[in-house]
């Protein structure tokens, strides 16, 4: 199969591509993805499942939203040579490119007023042990195999930031958001990690 173009520009905020939209991905020789961060994340997750992230170059035409603009700037989309980049993944089959969040389960409203009992380790550092408001996770594109983690214990209070390769969480039922898309059910365990065995190829 030759190059495959995926037009995902109609995805709404918080919406992931449908499985049928991703059917051409595993067999492609090259990919052009148009649309928001969630679309690119889903495409990379499909390539990861097929074991082809290192073989299939991916070009991305970002959407007009702020998250897409920020990630495109961080990745240097539209400039430079093809690059093999860190793949940040989770233990539930997903890929994280821009922003992940852990917070108390609920409908997302008044999230800062809810508290979550949680213990978390970032590599060998215990970054949380008790009740928190949320954890934010971002791949660090200025480093190799690194994610940045910010723990908010209370709103409007100082946060704690750490850098490392893997974040492991055990908690009360938690709400997970990956690149703007809500994971379909609450979880009590979750891991995000920069996989040093796997790369994906960006075609600028």
* pLDDT value of residue 48: 97
* pLDDT value of residue 138: 98
* pLDDT value of residue 204: 85
* pLDDT value of residue 109: 67
Coil, strand or helix: which one is 36? coil
Phi, psi of 93 (to 5 degrees): 90, 5
* pLDDT value of residue 137: 98
* pLDDT value of residue 79: 87
* Spatial CB neighbours of 108, under 8 Å, sequence gap ≥ 6: 175, 182
Half-sphere exposure of 159 (CA within 13 A, CB side): 14
Q: What is the pLDDT along the chain (204 residues), one digit of tens a residue?
A: 589 999 999 999 999 999 999 999 999 999 999 999 999 999 999 999 999 999 999 999 999 999 999 999 999 998 888 999 999 999 999 999 999 999 998 776 666 678 999 999 999 999 999 999 999 999 999 999 999 999 999 888 899 999 999 999 999 999 999 999 999 999 999 999 999 999 999 998
């Amino acid at each position: 199969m030759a190059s495959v173009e995926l037009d995902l520009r109609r995805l709404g905020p918080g919406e992931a591509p449908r499985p049928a939209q991703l059917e051409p991905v595993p067999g492609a020789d090259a990919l052009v993805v148009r649309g928001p961060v969630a679309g690119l994340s889903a495409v990379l997750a499909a390539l990861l499942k097929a074991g082809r992230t290192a073989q299939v170059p991916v070009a991305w035409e970002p959407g007009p939203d702020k998250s897409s603009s920020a990630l495109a700037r961080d990745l240097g989309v539209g400039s430079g040579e093809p690059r093999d980049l860190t793949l940040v993944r989770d233990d539930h089959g997903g890929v994280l490119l821009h922003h992940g969040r852990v917070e108390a389960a609920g409908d997302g409203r008044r999230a800062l007023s809810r508290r979550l009992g949680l213990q978390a380790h970032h590599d060998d550092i215990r970054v949380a042990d008790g009740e928190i408001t949320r954890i934010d996770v971002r791949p660090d594109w200025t480093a190799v195999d690194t994610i940045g983690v910010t723990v908010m214990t209370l709103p409007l209070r100082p946060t704690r930031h750490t850098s490392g390769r893997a974040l492991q969480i055990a908690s009360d039922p938690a709400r997970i958001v990956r690149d703007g898309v809500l994971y379909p059910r609450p979880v009590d365990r979750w891991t995000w990690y920069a996989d040093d065995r796997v790369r994906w190829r960006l075609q600028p």
